[in-house]
Amino acid sequence: MSRSTPIYAAMRSIGAYVPPKILSNADLEKMVDTTDEWIVKRTGIRERHIADKDVATSDLAVEAARDAIARAGLEHEEIDLVLCATVTPDYFNMPSTACVISDKLGIRNVQAFDISAACSGFVYGLSIAKAFIESGMKRNVLLIGAEKFSSIVDYTDRSTCILFGDGAGAAVISATEDRDEGIIDIHASADGSYADFLMTPAPGSVHPASCEVIEQGLQYVKMKGNETFKLAVKTLTKDVKEILEKNSIPAEKIDHFVPHQANYRIIKAVGDALKMREDQTVLTVGKYGNTSAASIPMAINDIYEEGRLHYGDLMLLDTFGGGLTWASALLPFAGRN
Ligand code: ACO
């Protein structure tokens, strides 16, 4: 590939992994004051997967990454950048989970770092992979979204513990000269004035680890659910309309609308505003809950494994999460079944 030839970034493959153990709504009914009916009606979630105590975020990630690398037809040594989007890293905050994953995969001496953008992490990562590849700096990026979200959930807080699950998704993003295979566009944005809508107050430099921190439960995720819900619908609808309009792509041309799987009602409201048909919308929230940065690659992997995702299919991704952050992306799938 000569330097004068334009280079594009293509999603060559997808992979995912969920730990086997299931936490059902019936299980949660025994733990907090809730009902299966309330959870299904308000969120669409029926069950979520939870990793065992001795399993780390990197362990989930490695399983997903192995599949993604194999499906891209690459050897591990051909990966030249490892990115891991997560808010539940193996360690707060060194080494990065991306470094741990690289070591476990035997990928050595390549750049590796984490992305902290909560549920938007995978699409943020896609924009970073695109920039590295199109600038000619990297050729094969391993992009992972992985969360052991159960490690920051307070299982006595019914407003959050019903929502989240564990899992990982991974994609290989590679250089191509074929413009039709390339990522078309990505919008990624943030507004830190809403930081308190969704946060884990500790540990960090504001609240370093201490007995008081643990007693107050500051290590757990806190969320202003209803405020987040309203802002998510408003922001996502606007953002997704903008990316479609900017690229002159009508909603009916989208083969797979892959929204962040936080709440069925958010997905439905945004889908309705865009006039998306049900068969265009990928829905996995019922069986996985909200897996934060892993949710979008896990959803893409689901349609891949069901045989519904084909080379050239046009995908619209949209996501929203703590920060607050949000992002959307338009891209064809450039992997082979
Ligand atoms: N079971 C039964 N009742 C409950 C439960 C529960 N699990 N949780 C809350 N309630 C009660 C509340 O106490 C409240 O009772 P009250 O009226 O007596 O005060 C009532 O239900 C309504 O509570 P709301 O919080 O207003 O319920 P809402 O319809 O907003 O649903 C939910 C809550 C599901 C959390 C929703 O707001 C939501 O999905 N928010 C967005 C989450 C999100 O998208 N986050 C962003 C991504 S996450 C990330 O970045 C990591």
pLDDT digits (tens, 9 = 90+) for 13-57: 999 999 999 999 999 999 999 999 999 999 999 999 999 999 999
With respect to residue 1, please indicate whether it lies within any of the assigned structural domains.
no
- Measured CA to CA, the distance from residue 266 to residue 279 in angstroms comes to 17
CB of residue 297 inside a 6 A radius of ligand 1: no
**What is the per-residue pLDDT across 120-134, written as a single tens digit (0 to 9) for each?**
999 999 999 999 999
CB of residue 93 inside a 6 A radius of ligand 1: no
Alpha-carbon distances, residue 285 vs 35, 177, 263, 334 (angstroms): 17, 36, 7, 25
Nearest CA to ligand 1 atom 32: 225
Which residue, 180, 214, 235, sits at the end of a domain? 180
The answer to whether residues 101 and 65 touch, using CB atoms and an 8 Å cutoff, is: yes
Is residue 331 helix, strand or coil? strand
CB of residue 292 inside a 6 A radius of ligand 1: yes
CB of residue 271 inside a 6 A radius of ligand 1: no
Query: Are both 92 and 203 inside the same structural domain?
Result: no
N- to C-terminal Cα separation, the chain? 26
Q: Give the per-residue pLDDT at 93.
A: 78
Grade residue 328 by pLDDT with cuts at 50, 70 and 90: very high
Residue 337 pLDDT greater than 80, yes or no: no
CB of residue 198 inside a 6 A radius of ligand 1: yes
Nearest CA to ligand 1 atom 49: 321
Query: Are both 85 and 140 inside the same structural domain?
Result: yes
Of all helices (H) and strands (E), which one includes residue 77? none
Q: In this structure, what are the phi and psi dihedrals at residue 8, rounded to the nearest 5 degrees?
A: -120, 160
Query: Are both 193 and 89 inside the same structural domain?
Result: no
With respect to residue 204, please indicate whether it lies within any of the assigned structural domains.
yes
Average pLDDT (257-262) is 96
- Measured CA to CA, the distance from residue 266 to residue 277 in angstroms comes to 15
Query: Are both 24 and 98 inside the same structural domain?
Result: yes
Average pLDDT (295-318) is 97
CB of residue 116 inside a 6 A radius of ligand 1: no
Query: Are both 276 and 140 inside the same structural domain?
Result: no
Domain extent, residue 242, equals: 185-332
Query: Are both 176 and 39 inside the same structural domain?
Result: yes
Closest-lying ligand 1 atom to the alpha carbon of residue 162:
7
**CA of residue 293 to ligand 1 center, whole Å:** 20
Q: What is the CATH number of the domain that holds 86?
A: 3.40.47.10
Query: Are both 131 and 239 inside the same structural domain?
Result: no
Closest-lying ligand 1 atom to the alpha carbon of residue 87:
51
Query: Are both 266 and 126 inside the same structural domain?
Result: no
Query: Which of 23, 42, 166, 230, when mutated, tests ligand 1's pocket best, judged by the most ligand atoms within 8 Å of its CB?
Result: 42
With respect to residue 2, please indicate whether it lies within any of the assigned structural domains.
no
Grade residue 2 by pLDDT with cuts at 50, 70 and 90: low
Nearest CA to ligand 1 atom 12: 159
- Looking up tokens 């025994």, which residue turns up? 30
Window from 2-6, 180-184, 298-302 with minimum mean pLDDT:
2-6
Q: Give the per-residue pLDDT at 3.
A: 57
With respect to residue 337, please indicate whether it lies within any of the assigned structural domains.
no
- Measured CA to CA, the distance from residue 318 to residue 326 in angstroms comes to 8
Query: Are both 62 and 129 inside the same structural domain?
Result: yes
With respect to residue 3, please indicate whether it lies within any of the assigned structural domains.
no
Average pLDDT (228-241) is 92
Query: Are both 125 and 194 inside the same structural domain?
Result: no
**Token pair in block for residue 150:** 């159960």
Sheet containing 256-259: which strands, arranged edge to edge? Answer: 185-190, 325-332, 314-321, 256-259
- Measured CA to CA, the distance from residue 251 to residue 241 in angstroms comes to 9
> How many separate domains does the chain show?
2
Q: Which of 49, 119, 263, 301 is flagged as catalytic? A: 119
Of all helices (H) and strands (E), which one includes residue 27? helix 25-29
With respect to residue 227, please indicate whether it lies within any of the assigned structural domains.
yes
What count of Cα atoms within 13 Å lies in the side-chain half-sphere of residue 228? 22
Q: Give the per-residue pLDDT at 336.
A: 84
Which residue, 180, 203, 220, sits at the end of a domain? 180
CB of residue 161 inside a 6 A radius of ligand 1: no
- By C-alpha distance, which of 58, 48, 54 is closest to 20? 48
Nearest CA to ligand 1 atom 14: 159
Q: Known catalytic residue: 290?
A: yes
**CA of residue 268 to ligand 1 center, whole Å:** 16
Query: Are both 170 and 200 inside the same structural domain?
Result: no
Q: Known catalytic residue: 76?
A: no
**Token pair in block for residue 304:** 């891949």
CB of residue 159 inside a 6 A radius of ligand 1: yes
Query: Are both 173 and 191 inside the same structural domain?
Result: no
Please state, rounded to an integer, the average pLDDT across all residues of the chain: 96
Which residue, 154, 180, 206, sits at the end of a domain? 180
SS3 string, 84-114, reads EECCCCCCCCCCCHHHHHHHHHCCCCCEEEE
**What is the per-residue pLDDT across 47-88, written as a single tens digit (0 to 9) for each?**
999 999 999 999 999 999 999 999 999 999 999 999 999 999
With respect to residue 22, please indicate whether it lies within any of the assigned structural domains.
yes
The answer to whether residues 61 and 97 touch, using CB atoms and an 8 Å cutoff, is: yes
**What is the per-residue pLDDT across 267-295, written as a single tens digit (0 to 9) for each?**
999 999 999 999 999 999 999 999 999 99
Percent of the chain with pLDDT over 70: 99
